[in-house]
Structure 1
Amino acid sequence: MTVKRSAGLLLFRTSNGRVEVLIAHMGGPFWAARDEGAWSIPKGEYEPDETPEAAARREFVEELGLPAPDGERIPLGDIRQANGKIVTAWAVEADLDPEQMVPGTFTMEWPRGSGVSREFPEVDRAAWFAPEEAAPRLVAGQQVFLERLEEYVRGRAG
C-alpha cells in the first residue's frame, strides 16, 4: 500500500505581543456544520516527483488563492495523521488578510447517491487564532505543529 503524503505551510505572526497562526476551515458539506477538528493548515497531497516544499507552496496557492509568502521556512517536521497520511509542514512568519482568500474548488457527488455533481470550495474560510484557540479546531494529528512552532518561538525569544 502506498502511503499518501501531504505538505503545507503554517503562517504565524505576532500581534500585540501574542503569536497567532493562520488555519483554514475545510470546505464541502461534510465539514460545513463542524468547527472542532474541522480546520487544517493549508496543505495538500503531492507525488514522488515533487518536493514537499514545492508542494506546500503550490497547495497554499490552490487552497487559499493567495501567493505563498516569502520568508524563512522553519521546518516543523512530519506527523502521521489517523488516516495514515504523512504530513510535512513548515512555519513561515508572514501576515495576510484572510478576507482576500479566493479558494480553489473540488467536485463531488452531492447528495451522495444522487448522481448530481456539485462544486465546493477546498476551504470555506481562514482565520488567525492564538495557538491555544487553534488547537481544538485543528485536525487532531496536526496539533503537534502548534507545539513545535511554540518551541521555536520560545527559543527565538530566549
Structure 2
Amino acid sequence: MSKRSAGILLYRAEGPRVLIVHPGGPFFTNKDAGAWSLPKGEHDPDEDPRAAALREFAEETGTSLDGRDLLPLGEVRQRNGKVVTAWAVEGDFDVDSLHSNTFEIEWPPRSGRRTSFPEVDRALWCDPDTAREKLNPAQVAFVDRLLEQLKR
C-alpha cells in the first residue's frame, strides 16, 4: 500500500499568493526547483486525512489552523508513489515566525553522530508561477485546483 500524506495550502486571495515550505535536513540544503512542498506529512491509513493535514501544518509551521473551513483540493500521486491529499484555506502567516518540529538522523553518514534538523527550514509566500517552479511537480495540481476554485 502506498504511503499517504495530507497537507494544507494556505493562500492569500489578493494576488493570489500561496505558502510553500522547503524541507529541512542535509539532503535538501542545495535543492530548490521541485523540492518545495505545501506543509504536509504522513498519516496512518485509518487516520482522518483532514485531521492529519491540520496537525502537520501546525507541526511544520508552529501555527494552528483548527476551526477553519477547509476547501478540498483532492489527491495527487507523487513520482515516489506517495498519495497526497490537500485542502486550501485562506489566511496569513509570518514566514519569519516559522517554528518547525525537528527530526534526528545519523549525520554525517556512518559517523555514529546523531544530528537534529528542522522538518521545514524555510517558508515562502509566492505567486502561482513561482509555486509551480518550486513545488514538487505533482503538487502543482493543488495550486491549479485552488486557482480554479477562486475563479468561481
Give TM class, smaller chain.
over 0.9
Contact kept, 8 Å, 1:22 with 1:41, in 2: the verdict is yes
Deviations 1:34-78 (A, max 9, x none): 111121000000012310000000001111111126432111000
3-state SS of the aligned residue for 1:59?
A: helix
Q: Is the 1:4–1:45 contact (alpha carbons within 8 Å) kept by the matching residues of 2? A: yes
Pairwise CA distance, 1:14: 2.6
Residue number among 24, 28, 52 corresponding to 1:27 in the alignment: 24
2:44 to 47, 53, 78: 47
Q: Distance in 2 between matches of 1:141 and 1:120?
A: 25
Q: Distance in 1 between matches of 2:57 and 2:93?
A: 12
Give SS of 2:108's match.
Answer: coil
- Partner of residue 125, structure 1: 122
Contact 1:69/1:92 (<8 A) preserved: no
Aligned to 1:136, the other structure's residue is in SS state helix
| Structure 1 segment 78-157 matched on structure 2, within 5 A | 78-155=75-152
TM-score by length of 2: 0.96
Aligned to 1:75: 72
Which structure 1 segments of 5+ residues have no match?
A: none
Specify the code of the residue in structure 2 equivalent to 1:3: S
TM-score, normalization by structure 1: 0.92
Structure 2 residue 2 is matched with structure 1 residue 3: yes
For residue 60 of structure 2, what is the aligned residue in structure 1? 63
Matched to 2:5, the amino acid is S
CA–CA distance in structure 2, aligned partners of residues 73 and 124 of structure 1: 25
CA distance in 2, matches of 1:39, 1:153: 23
| Contact persistence 1:69–1:94 (CA under 8 A) | no
Runs of 4+ in 1 over 6 A off after TM superposition: none
Structure-2 separation of matches of 1:130 and 1:36 = 15
CA distance in 2, matches of 1:25, 1:138: 9
Matches of 1:110 and 1:68, distance apart in 2: 33
Distance 1:130 1:69 in 2: 25
